[in-house]
Amino acid sequence: MAAEGSLPTAGGECPSLHFVDQEPLPNCVPDAHYQVSQGKKYYWDLVAWLSCNKDNKALEGFLPKLKNHILGCLIPGSKANDGDKEFTLAQCNALHLINNRIYCHKVLRINYTTYDLCQAQDSLNPQMHLDVMVLSHEDIKNAHPYWYAQIIGIFHVDVQYCSPELSNHAPKWINFLWVRWFACNRNLKCSWAVCRLPCIGFYPQDESKAFRFIDPEQVICMAHLIPAFHFGCTTAINHTPQVQE
């Protein structure tokens, strides 16, 4: 581990912590929807990290997408999960990532209510329990009620937004998840009548929607996905494997 807790910037470095990395996380209060460590031990210099991973297709447009997400969290009336919303150049330039650091965290805890009205908690991390579900924002007919994503990294950034849109220009702590989205396979019928669960698969890597950021507040709970091996297996990241929810 590099000095001061900074993380190595070698090409292809995975943006998550290893199980041996220690990051204190006290018990989560019951009325909090989610919990992420408040520590700043592990971080990347964002400019150096992006430079060393410039050939990684998953990182294309990483900084503009991140700024769009942060501005969606900060500006009143904006939607943090509206990845298609574009902010102006002036707004992006007014947003400063303090020290150009992106802080990495080991675990995300989610408190949620089960179907039988009991309280439960999921412990998520990019190494093992990494698939999540959020409410769908589609307004089409017969839209699936949920979206699904796979966590690549759990982060926070310290930001300062110096614009008249906000009266308070003090630094703010923004938690976010970097995810790869799944897409529903609408060509396969799913219902009790046909005895089939909904089928989903990764967006192709070249799709602009494939890699995005979401607010941990939007996560409902962990998603249990069952690989559908009868569709075949592959090691290609750009392939769209089928899994069932």
pLDDT tens digits for 92-144? 999 999 999 999 999 999 999 998 999 999 999 988 889 999 998 877 777 78
Burial class (CB in 10 A: 0-12, 13-18, 19+), 29: exposed
The helix (H) or strand (E) run that includes residue 69 is helix 62-74
User: 8-54: per-residue pLDDT in tens?
Assistant: 544 445 567 777 788 888 888 888 999 999 999 999 899 888 888 88
Type of residue at 150:
Q
Residue 82's pLDDT band (cuts 50, 70, 90): low
Residue 155: CB partners within 8 Å, gap ≥ 6?
15, 102, 103, 104, 105, 175, 176, 177, 178
- Residue labelled with tokens 């900074």: 6
